[in-house]
Structure 1
Amino acid sequence: MKTVNLISRDNGSGLTRDMQILTGLLRSSGYQVRWIDHRQNRMPACHVGIFLEEFNCALLETMEASVFIPNMDCFPDGVLDCLDTVDQVWAKGIGAAEELRRLGVAPVVTGFMSGDMFDPAVEREDLCLHVSGKSSAKGTQAVLEAWRRHPDLPTLCMTAIQAFDDIPANVRHLGIVPLPQVQDLMNRCRIHVLPSLIEGWGHGLAEGAMCGASVVTTDASPMNEHIRPEFGFLLPVVRTESIGVTELNHVDPDDIADAVRQAVGLGAADRETSALLARDHVLARNASFAATATRLIDELVSSI
């Protein structure tokens, strides 16, 4: 059996979503998958090694073919010195591909995929949802300011690890909640407000669209690759800020409020049409990545 080593932040406990997704995809294609912590200096030999976000040049010696899948929001230091020996660099989005080309890297634009959190049995409510978890780049401050300035907005359910002062009365700060409760919220809340400053991929956006929510997000890549104006609401970028090899994209809280009001005002028929378009868009992107990734790995193995 051909072996693929997935190299990331850990060695199998507490797998990242990306590791879970690639593990399932590769195993369904007949590959043996092992999880490797990127901090190791040696690892078991494999046919293909896939670096997810993290990179360690020393591990290239024990793989016959190599792939690097970066997140541009946390592009590792020193990686460019080794990339000329990597067989393929995959770009999760159009914006990521452009940034990689500016760094002198020739990527393969593959996209990526997200899990399906859709549950039609959950009753939808006129609530808004903002999920930031442990991230500080989800635009949470702008979201809170929008609700602070506009108390007429629908109740916002927010999950975040951070504590915030002066939470508006129409915001429910739920802290960090277990995955089943997150899934329930994603299906229960009709409007998802996710004006991310930056995303490596954007699982929350893709999952929200698959749940049929009206998603409000930032008009910058990769956010605007998940959410399109035909079925969601894109906020103009009012200010950018350089960070590493990419940029943070800031939006105006008043624009958030305007978009939420538009989402609230959708009639039932328009809401249903938008929900179907959103789900179909993300499912098609999932299927495209699954086919492309499987083909690329199969080709690498065949060339060994």
Structure 2
Amino acid sequence: MRRKATRKIQTVRIVYPDTGIGLENDARIVASVLESAGLRVERRAVPIGCGGSFVLRAAGRAFRLFGDAAGAALYRWLCAALRPFSRDVVDLTVFLQRVFHTYAPASRRSIVIPNPEWFNPDWAWHLRVVDAVACKTLHAVDLLTRYSRRVEFIGFTSLDRDPDALSRIKPTETALWLHHASAGLQKGTQAVLAAWAKHPDWPMLTVLQHKNAPLGADAANVRYIARRLSEPEMIEHARRHAVHICPSESEGYGHSLVEAMSCAALVLTTDGAPMNELVKPDRGVLVATGPPRPDKLGIRYLIRDDDVEAAVIRALALDPGELYRLRVNARRYFDSTLPRFRSRLLALLTRL
């Protein structure tokens, strides 16, 4: 059912860095929610390095010279002064990840949806010049409240990779295991492979990774797929494997976890935020971590092979009925994410 658009906001521009599929999918998800409310939405992917208006970037230096209040007031004044000369002015700009200053004057209101783990500390002042900082996780709210007076939790969702998951999975099926290493960065891949190397008796593990990433040690129960996969191929792997092992060092939101749950997969992930905010013991298995450390505006966790090993042993001990129950819970959690996100985001827009 389409919800009526707010009176104040009718036109929206979503602006985000052109860095690949992750933020592109974020833009698709936000656009879909806004369009379902009757808003007119356009998306703009901005090439990396196009930070925007020199005048407004220079205004950012006012934060260092005059403090937060004066710096924010100057920035907004400059945006208002430039707005009559801007083309295609919209009611709202939704910035994903960071503010692009070129687009700031051409908008009557603006919000930013950042990922703290990807957010450059030099951009912290961006959070003070928008009307609201909208956070996908409560973890992000905790981290970003110090940088803005208006930080709001909206939640988020991911693309549905298997709408028929609950009718497809069976309690008696053999559980296949998957680890998506990507380029091997921040995914806990070395700890996963080290744990598997100790246990030739464990199930076959399929490892998806970047074609240029180094392969781990040879093991009879590890199968590497080291090439660029198409989206349909990625979805097929996600659906076919009942257990996804994803002990991430950090996540901006956790799309790999939530997409796995859309396939009714059992997810093993890090017992640290935001991962343990998405995956709970009633729908997954948590992996203990070593001491965390700061990473940009977020946190990075130490993933150890002993902790991965312990979590895998717990997962392997699940009887088929319990594994099935956790997988069903995972899919049901996924089904709850979109309506909650839609409700919070649209409620925020009415308050701008």
Moved more, 153-162 or 264-273: 264-273
**What secondary structure does 2:43 align onto?**
strand
Match of 2:133 in 1: 89
Match of 1:168 in 2: 219
Rounded to whole Å, the distance in 2 between the matches of 1:292 and 1:2 is 17
Rounded to whole Å, the distance in 1 between the matches of 2:195 and 2:185 is 17
Structure 1 vs Structure 2: percent identity of aligned residues?
A: 29
**What secondary structure does 1:66 align onto?**
strand
Gaps of 5+ in 2: 1-8, 54-85
Q: 1:50 to 1:244 in 2, by over 3 A?
A: same
Q: Give the AA of the match of 2:200.
A: P
Rounded to whole Å, the distance in 1 between the matches of 2:87 and 2:181 is 34
Aligned positions, number: 300
Rounded to whole Å, the distance in 2 between the matches of 1:13 and 1:182 is 13
Q: 1:156 to 1:105 in 2, by over 3 A?
A: farther
Match of 1:9 in 2: 17
TM-score of the superposed pair, with normalisation by structure 1: 0.90
Correspondences of 1:149-298 after superposition (within 5 Å) = 149-161=198-210, 162-175=213-226, 176-298=228-350
Residue 82 of structure 2 is aligned to residue 30 of structure 1: no
Shift in Å, 1:34: 1.5
Rounded to whole Å, the distance in 1 between the matches of 2:20 and 2:148 is 32
Shift in Å, 1:206: 0.8
C-alpha distance after superposition, 1:25-81 (max 9, x if no partner): 112221222122442547731110011013223422110010000011111343332
Rounded to whole Å, the distance in 1 between the matches of 2:230 and 2:299 is 31
Rounded to whole Å, the distance in 2 between the matches of 1:296 and 1:102 is 20
Match of 2:75 in 1: none
Shift in Å, 1:299: 4.1
Q: Is the 8 A contact 1:153 1:261 kept in 2?
A: no
Computing the radius of gyration from Cα coordinates, the structure with the larger value is: 2
**What secondary structure does 1:79 align onto?**
helix
Q: 1:92 to 1:208 in 2, by over 3 A?
A: same
Rounded to whole Å, the distance in 2 between the matches of 1:179 and 1:245 is 31
Higher strand share: 1
**What secondary structure does 2:176 align onto?**
strand
Q: Is the 8 A contact 1:36 1:43 kept in 2?
A: no
Q: Is the 8 A contact 1:125 1:189 kept in 2?
A: no
Match of 2:112 in 1: 68
Gaps of 5+ in 1: none
Shift in Å, 1:177: 1.6
Q: 1:97 to 1:14 in 2, by over 3 A?
A: closer
Shift in Å, 1:214: 1.5
Q: 1:101 to 1:167 in 2, by over 3 A?
A: farther
Q: 18, 38, 47: which is aligned to 2:91?
A: 47
Q: Give the AA of the match of 1:285.
A: T
Q: 1:15 to 1:244 in 2, by over 3 A?
A: closer
Rounded to whole Å, the distance in 1 between the matches of 2:149 and 2:20 is 29
Match of 2:79 in 1: none
Q: Give the AA of the match of 2:118.
A: C
Q: Is the 8 A contact 2:157 2:337 kept in 1?
A: yes
